[in-house]
Structure 1
Amino acid sequence: PTSVSSRVYVTIAAALVAQLHAAVATLKPFVWQWDSNDGAPAWLENAVRPAPAGAHNTPIGLLRRDPRTLSILWEDGHRDDFDVRDLRLACHCALCVEEMSGRKLRDPQTVRADVSPRQIVSVGNYAIGFDWNDGHNSGIHSFNDLRAMGERAAAQSVENV
Structure 2
Amino acid sequence: MDNRSFPLHLPLMRPVDMQVIGTELAVKWDDGRETFVSLERLRRACPCAMCRGEADLLGRWSAPPPQSLTAASFVLRDIRMVGSYGLQPVWADGHATGIYSFEYLIRLGESSDSPCPDFLPFS
Structure 2-normalised TM-score? 0.65
- Report how far residue 138 of structure 1 moved: 1.2
Name the structure 1 match of 2:110.
151
Tell me the C-alpha RMSD between the 2 structures.
2.3
**Greater strand proportion:** 2
How many equivalent pairs are there? 98
Q: Secondary structure at the match of 2:40?
A: helix
Pick one of 14, 22, 36 that aligns with 1:58: 14
Partners of 2:24 and 2:37 within 8 A in 1? yes
Against the structure 1 CA distance between its residues 142 and 123, is the aligned structure 2 distance closer, same or farther, given a 3 Å change threshold? same
Structure 1-normalised TM-score? 0.52
Pick 1 or 2: higher relative contact order, CA cutoff 8 A, min separation 6: 2
Against the structure 1 CA distance between its residues 112 and 60, is the aligned structure 2 distance closer, same or farther, given a 3 Å change threshold? same
- Report how far residue 72 of structure 1 moved: 0.7
Residue 85 of structure 2 is aligned to residue 126 of structure 1: yes
Unaligned runs of 5+ in 2: 1-10, 56-60, 115-123
Q: Which digits, 9 at most, give the CA deviation of each residue in 1:16-41, with x for residues without a partner?
A: xxxxxxxxxxxxxxxxxxxxxxxxxx
Identity %: 31
Larger radius of gyration: 1
Unaligned runs of 5+ in 1: 1-53, 157-161
- Report how far residue 135 of structure 1 moved: 1.9
Against the structure 1 CA distance between its residues 106 and 117, is the aligned structure 2 distance closer, same or farther, given a 3 Å change threshold? farther
